[in-house]
């Protein structure tokens, strides 16, 4: 049975792109970059750590609108941008694809990929669409989009982790319009996947059910 997953903008979590997702495999890549320092007289160079590389996740997302008789591109183009190209460049941001340039950011938006408890903060680095079923008039109704997602982490969060500093007091936060558990977790902990800490502390069974004005306890992350 296919499992629902979705992509959304981190800053506008109400812009959701649902998909049918049940991967045969999900590839996660992580690398570190080292420089080599040649020392005369040694048989091998010395390796010096330079920087880490962002994690990359590659997967297939499935879309099927055959039973509804709809053009499947109403979903796939919300990820890649509209196939018609530049004629839609003046569209408002709410109508653009997740790979299109946002008018305010002057760059594509930061996204969240959410599948159950798996939450990945990222930007969409690459996408390939394959249409595999068509109606008699040539309208595509089934597609697979292979996406490469590059992890995005804020600089201040990375610096904080380097300094090994953490809050020593449980905080409180009032839910604002458009907030979600994963967006709050990203702001408080630097990782949207830590949303369960907040959900457990506030006895929230359904992470999508937040009320504007609701007060949340933000526990200390050990």
Q: pLDDT tens digits, residue range 76-129?
A: 988 988 765 444 455 565 678 899 888 888 889 999 999 888 889 999 999 999
Asked if residue 157 is part of any domain, the answer here is no
Asked if residue 76 is part of any domain, the answer here is yes
Asked if residue 107 is part of any domain, the answer here is yes
Partner residues linked to 112 by β-bridges:
8, 121
Same domain, 74 and 123: yes
Distance CA(22)–CA(179), nearest Å, equals: 27
What does the DSSP 8-state code read for residue 55? -
Same domain, 145 and 168: no
Asked if residue 53 is part of any domain, the answer here is yes
- Give residue-wise pLDDT tens across range 122-170: 999 999 999 999 999 999 999 999 999 999 988 777 766 665 444 445 6
Check residue 133 and give its pLDDT. 95
């Amino acid at each position: 049975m296919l499992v629902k997953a979705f992509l959304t903008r981190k800053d506008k979590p109400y812009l959701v792109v649902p998909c049918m997702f049940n991967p045969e495999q999900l590839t996660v890549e992580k690398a570190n970059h080292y420089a080599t320092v040649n020392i005369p007289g040694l048989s091998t160079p010395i390796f010096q750590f330079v920087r880490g590389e962002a994690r990359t996740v590659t997967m297939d997302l499935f879309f099927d609108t055959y039973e509804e008789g709809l053009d499947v591109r109403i979903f796939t183009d919300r990820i890649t941008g509209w196939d018609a190209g530049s004629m839609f460049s003046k569209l408002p941001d709410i109508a653009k694809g997740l790979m299109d340039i946002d008018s305010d950011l002057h760059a594509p938006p930061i996204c969240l990929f959410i599948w159950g408890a798996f939450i990945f903060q990222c930007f969409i680095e690459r996408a390939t669409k394959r249409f595999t079923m068509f109606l008699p008039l040539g309208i595509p109704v089934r597609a697979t989009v292979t996406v490469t997602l590059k992890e995005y982490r804020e600089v201040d969060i990375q610096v904080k982790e380097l300094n090994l500093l953490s809050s020593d007091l449980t905080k409180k936060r009032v839910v604002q319009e458009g907030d979600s558990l994963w967006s709050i977790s990203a702001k408080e902990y630097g990782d949207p996947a830590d949303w369960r800490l907040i959900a457990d502390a506030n006895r929230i069974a359904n992470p999508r059910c937040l009320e504007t004005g609701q007060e949340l306890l933000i526990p200390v992350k050990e």
